[in-house]
């Protein structure tokens, strides 16, 4: 996990207005808004790596409620288009979403259905999808 976050930090693009990492209190607020606990992998990513901007994939964030990547907004929209409520969106691509469950399994919700592909951790998904799609 630390190696992947370190790699993301090294690859992160410099932008005029950088993203901020959330506080633990902000993560609690996010959980209260969506009424579901964040899996540990996602908490760790949000606390230590969610300030990364890299490539075409935009991961959810938890520090700015006005951002288009704010986790509660992205997740509630995903739920409104049919993503099962036991999942939390981690990345939006149009009306399709990569999402995570309480066991930290990552799935792809596309065209109103869960795809068969699954990653056993957020870190596997980051390596297989995000880091390979520049």
Instruction: With beta carbons less than 8 A apart as the criterion, state whether 39 and 105 touch.
Output: no
Give mean pLDDT, residues 44-52. 93
Question: What is the tens place of the pLDDT at every residue in 50-59?
Answer: 998 888 889 9
Instruction: With beta carbons less than 8 A apart as the criterion, state whether 6 and 48 touch.
Output: no
The Cα–Cα gap between 24 and 121 comes to 21
Residue ranges with strand state E in the chain: 88-93, 96-100, 106-110, 113-119
Q: Which of 81, 70, 115, 110 is nearest to 93 (CA)?
A: 110
pTM: 0.91
């Amino acid at each position: 996990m630390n190696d992947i976050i370190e790699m993301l930090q090294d690859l992160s693009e410099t932008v005029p207005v950088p993203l901020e990492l959330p506080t633990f209190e902000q993560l609690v607020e996010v959980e209260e808004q969506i009424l579901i606990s964040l899996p540990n992998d996602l908490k760790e990513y949000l606390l230590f790596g969610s300030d990364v901007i890299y490539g075409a994939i935009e991961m959810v964030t938890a520090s700015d409620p006005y951002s288009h990547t704010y986790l509660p907004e992205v997740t509630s929209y995903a739920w409104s288009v049919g993503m099962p409520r036991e999942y939390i969106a981690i990345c939006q691509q149009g009306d399709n979403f990569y999402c995570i469950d309480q066991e930290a399994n990552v799935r792809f919700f596309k065209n109103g259905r869960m795809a068969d592909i699954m990653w056993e951790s957020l870190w596997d998904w980051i390596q297989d999808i995000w880091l390979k799609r520049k």
